[in-house]
């Protein structure tokens, strides 16, 4: 395959990175993936952004460096305006899409991540396969040694305190309530208009860890068991119109794009 013009620097299990992969796929753009090692990733992202940002995703598109999943989505729409358009060109519908994208980026992104990590850690779930399963053996061995340090960093960085975790559960459920209001309880509806937008991609990808939809990075692998609270949450969400909406977005929108993913994306680990 010819070298792609775009490279996405990412964590495979990050739902923010899943959001960016989906935006790239939805625009039909080829891209190469660089999976970064947690902790050491900052050496790469700081170099790419000239010290401005240490997080992923980072997209390098023909020499242009773009950070933050929302900024990447907006950049792709400006840079590649041809069909399919994921943001209306103007008017109230455009403002609606942008507002909803920002809302779900905040409500689902931060609060789903905090709540899920807290429950994984509290249950003693082995997160090594989740975090390092996609890396070659030498890096998996390094990950095994560093996992206690990485968990301490995550606890601090994501504020996994009881009050914050409880707040995040309230917030993520509040976001699901709004999703159901926006679709008027109908899982077949899009959030705005009659086609997929960056608002749908944000909500579906950032809530994906709660449902583990096929085509997402959060599907249970053989032998994996979720903590009881996560299993209960997953069942409760799947029983709601919001949960059915999340599954439909992956089945009807993401799955078709994901099938073409391996044909368009080169993957490297490092």
What's the CA gap between 59 and 5, in Å, rounded?
11
Q: Of 8, 132, 5, 115, nearest to 68 (Cα)?
A: 8
CB 39 within 8 A of CB 149: yes
Sequence-distant (≥ 6) Cβ neighbours of residue 141 within 8 angstroms: none
Residue that is last in its domain, among 57, 86, 115: 86
Based on the domain organization, do 104 and 186 belong to the same domain? yes
Query: CATH no. for residue 180?
Result: 1.20.1050.10
Q: Of 193, 195, 192, nearest to 83 (Cα)?
A: 195
Based on the domain organization, do 52 and 104 belong to the same domain? no
Written as tens digits, the pLDDT of the chain (270 aa) is 345 689 999 999 999 999 999 999 999 999 999 999 998 888 899 999 988 778 899 999 999 999 999 999 999 999 999 879 999 988 999 999 999 999 999 999 999 999 999 999 999 999 998 888 888 999 999 999 999 999 999 999 999 999 999 999 999 999 999 999 999 999 999 999 999 999 999 999 999 999 999 989 999 888 888 999 999 999 999 999 999 999 999 999 997 665 333 333 444 444
What's the CA gap between 23 and 16, in Å, rounded?
11
Q: Per DSSP, what are the bridge partners of residue 267?
A: 33
Residue 34 has φ and ψ, to the nearest 5°, of: -115, 110
- Judged by DSSP in three states, 7 sits in strand
Residue with tokens 């959030």: 191
Q: What is the DSSP letter of 99?
A: H
Query: CATH no. for residue 36?
Result: 3.40.30.10
Q: At what angle do helices 198-211 and 15-26 cross, to 10 degrees?
A: 140
Residue that is last in its domain, among 55, 86, 117: 86
In a domain, 218, yes or no: yes
| Domain range for 106 | 92-126+158-259
Token pair for residue 240? 């709601």
pLDDT at 256: 64
Q: What is the number of structural domains in the chain?
A: 2
Based on the domain organization, do 173 and 240 belong to the same domain? yes
Adjacency order of strands within the sheet including 58-61: 64-67, 58-61, 6-10, 31-35, 265-269
Neighbours of 63 (CB within 10 A): 6
Burial 79-90 (b: 16+ CB within 10 A, else e): ebeeeeebbbee
Based on the domain organization, do 63 and 120 belong to the same domain? no
Based on the domain organization, do 109 and 58 belong to the same domain? no
């Amino acid at each position: 395959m010819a070298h792609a013009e775009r490279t996405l620097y990412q964590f495979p299990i990050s739902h923010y990175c899943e959001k960016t992969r989906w935006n790239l796929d939805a625009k039909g753009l080829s891209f190469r993936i660089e999976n970064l090692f947690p902790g050491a990733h900052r050496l790469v992202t700081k170099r790419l952004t000239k010290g401005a940002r240490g997080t992923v995703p980072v997209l390098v598109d023909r020499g242009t460096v773009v950070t933050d999943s929302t900024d990447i989505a907006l950049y792709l729409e400006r840079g590649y305006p041809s069909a399919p358009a994921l943001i209306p060109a103007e008017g109230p519908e455009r403002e609606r899409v942008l507002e909803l994208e920002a809302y779900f980026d905040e409500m689902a992104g931060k609060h789903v991540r905090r709540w899920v990590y807290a429950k994984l850690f509290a249950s003693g779930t082995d997160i090594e396969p989740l975090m390092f399963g996609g890396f070659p053996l030498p890096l998996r061995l390094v990950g095994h040694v560093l996992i206690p340090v990485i968990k301490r960093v995550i606890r601090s960085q994501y504020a996994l305190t009881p009050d914050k975790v409880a707040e995040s559960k309230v917030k993520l459920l509040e976001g699901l309530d709004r999703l159901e209001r926006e679709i008027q309880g109908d899982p077949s509806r899009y959030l705005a208009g009659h086609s997929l937008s960056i608002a749908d991609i944000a909500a579906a990808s950032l809530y994906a860890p709660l449902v583990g939809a096929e085509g997402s990075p959060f599907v249970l692998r053989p032998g994996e068991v979720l903590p009881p609270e996560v299993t209960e949450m997953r069942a409760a969400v799947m029983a709601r119109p919001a949960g059915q909406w999340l599954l439909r977005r992956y089945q009807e929108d993401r799955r078709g794009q994901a099938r073409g993913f391996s044909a368009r994306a080169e993957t490297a680990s490092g």
